[in-house]
Amino acid sequence: MLESFRYNDGCVVARSKEAKALGLKMGVPVHQIKDEICRYGIQVFSSNYTLYGDMSRRVMTTLEQLAPRVDVYSIDEAFLDLTGIERLLSIEDFGREIKNAVYHNVGLPVCVGIAPTRTLAKLANHAAKKYPATRGVVDLSDPDRQRRLMNLVSVEDVWGVGRKLSAKLKEMGIGTALQLADADPAALRKRFSVVLERTARELNGISCQPWEDVPSAKQQIMCSRSFGQPLQKLGDLEEAVTHFAALAAQKLRSGEQYAGMLMVFIRTNPFKTSAPQYSQSASVKLIKPSQDSRVIIRQALNLLRPMYREGFDYAKAGLLLGELVDAGNIQEDLFDAESGQPQDAERSERLMTVIDAINQKYRSTVFMAREAGPGSYVMRREHLSPAYTTDWVNLPWVK
């Protein structure tokens, strides 16, 4: 078993309660904990973005059927507006209905935190996870209950605080969430930031974060991967960066956005200290925002080639698109109108629309020639769980 198991399949990015109890840390390369994996029989799973995305969609769809308004915060978190629910049943009972409905429809256990502000709701959710007696639901509507819980919670566990900021707060004698709530908001703003001031106010039941009925437009799009095996040749890096650029451009178009800037980076493996290290990045501002894969790929390769150096084992590359705008905010170039470029823009849009439609229907059968399809740059995922919900071949069989 030791010889057949592969340990170069990324880092620890999620842990079960049992794995946390064993002391396994986030971000640790898997090969560094191979002894613990074998000793305790730990199950290792590679990242499966297709499965995670589909399960997230199912959870959010369930929540949208239960609450008047839902603000999807991340792939595994959402805030629900419970206005008026108390007229029908108790808030805590409704929280249990949510928990049961998600488990019944999707098969995933969730925890529910209820409170008058988002920061307090996150705190309630923290308690729902930590204390088994709550059975996964905590209602912090009562101010006295809020203060009792805040007195038990370390300040570093407050949403948005973290370890670095909590260290500075503890130097001031603020070690718990309750002490942060009782601190002078003006002093917090002056010494730290308006963000921490708002956090303290939210701990006191004063909502400082606006409701997002419509998800805000993306500010950046990042596409990067660690390679399945190190790449040495420029040609292989070009294939990888082209692939990332094509994926990022497709995401742009799906959000009906255009990019005004792009950045490319490459680096070696920082964990392999015995090998020569190299890391570099470069960026460019586009003359006119674009969502055309050809334009983005051309600019990405123009950035990549000068930064490439021979003699290194490249472990990761990536591309970031920034200064994103929608079509209505693009400023036309005076010289475009004189040169007939608007017609070229229309042809570009039609071409990209056709490519996206084909790839959506037939699973990425059209790609740029320089991309050459996913090759050696695809990240290693030898412990990939099946895509149970999106692939007919992976459907579980019941005998």
Domain that holds residue 209: 141-216
Indicate whether 236 and 317 sit together in one domain. Answer: yes
Beta bridge partners of 266: 280, 317
User: What is the bridge-based pairing of β-strands 257-268 and 314-322?
Assistant: antiparallel
Indicate whether 155 and 230 sit together in one domain. Answer: no
Neighbouring CB atoms inside 10 A of 95's CB total 24
294 falls within a domain:
yes
Indicate whether 238 and 358 sit together in one domain. Answer: yes
Indicate whether 190 and 313 sit together in one domain. Answer: no
| Cα 143 → chain centroid | 33
DSSP state letters, 288-333: EEE--HHHHHHHHHHHHHHH--TT--EEEEEEEEES-EEGGGPPPP
CA neighbor of 349 nearest in space, from 293, 285, 300, 288 = 293
Structure tokens at 382: 């030898």
Q: What 3 state SS string does 199-259 have?
A: HHHHHCCCCCCCCCCCCCCCCCEEEEEEEEEEECCHHHHHHHHHHHHHHHHHHHHHCCEEE
User: What is the bridge-based pairing of β-strands 279-290 and 137-139?
Assistant: unpaired
**DSSP category for residue 156:** G
State the Cα–Cα distance between residues 236 and 32, nearest whole angstrom. 28
Indicate whether 238 and 355 sit together in one domain. Answer: yes
CATH of the domain at 160: 1.10.150.20
User: Angle at CA 187, nearest 5°, toward 184 and 191?
Assistant: 145
Indicate whether 283 and 160 sit together in one domain. Answer: no
What's the sign of the alpha-carbon dihedral 34, 35, 38, 41?
Answer: negative
- The total domain count for the chain is 2
192 falls within a domain:
yes
CA neighbor of 255 nearest in space, from 356, 394, 134 = 356
Indicate whether 208 and 268 sit together in one domain. Answer: no
The one-digit pLDDT tens for each residue of the chain (399 residues) are 333 344 455 788 788 888 888 888 887 888 788 888 888 888 888 778 788 888 999 999 999 999 888 888 888 899 999 888 888 888 999 999 999 999 999 999 999 999 999 999 999 999 999 899 999 999 999 999 999 999 999 998 899 887 888 889 998 898 999 999 999 988 989 888 898 999 999 999 998 887 765 555 568 888 888 887 888 889 889 988 998 998 899 889 988 889 999 999 999 988 788 889 999 999 999 988 998 989 999 999 999 999 999 999 998 999 999 988 887 666 666 555 444 454 577 788 888 888 888 877 776 677 777 666 555 556 556 676 777 777 777 777 777
102 falls within a domain:
no
274 falls within a domain:
yes
CATH of the domain at 315: 3.30.1490.100
The confidence score (pLDDT) of residue 3 equals 34
